[in-house]
Amino acid sequence: MKIIYDVIKRPLFTEKGMDIKERENKILIEVNPDSNKHEIRKAVEEIFKVKVAKVATINEKGKIKRFGRSVGRTSDRKKAIITLKKGEKLDFIET
């Protein structure tokens, strides 16, 4: 059993994230790559006191970057799109 505060890393304030928040009542967050949908749902419900209807996850591979002669790579990450139930609202700025 993981600690719920280790599952959620941070909210993602991107153009796509803000767009789906306004239109579809969904929030976009970055989560621990080892966490599954059940753990993400439980963590969001306990931390933010909202009801979750659906959780969708996205695994993003890191991009290859060049710095002069050396080649590096950005980290892999996992994102979750949380659909809130009707009537629920979550605003990270006000919270």
Identify the pLDDT of residue 94: 57
Task: Compute the distance between CA of residue 33 and CA of residue 25 in angstroms, rounded to an integer.
Answer: 24
Burial 7-20 (b: 16+ CB within 10 A, else e): bbbebbeeeebeeb
- For 58, residues 6+ apart whose C-beta sits below 8 A from its C-beta are 78, 79, 80, 81
Look up the pTM and report it. Answer: 0.85
- The amino acid present at 32, given as its one-letter code, is N
Give tens-digit pLDDT for 16-50. Answer: 888 998 899 999 999 999 999 999 999 999 999 99
State the chain's mean pLDDT as an integer.
91
For CA atoms 18, 12, 77, 54, the dihedral sign is negative
Domains present along the chain, CATH in parentheses: 2-82 (3.30.70.330)
Q: Is the confidence at residue 2, as pLDDT, over 80?
A: no
How far apart CA 18 and CA 41 sit, in angstroms, is 20
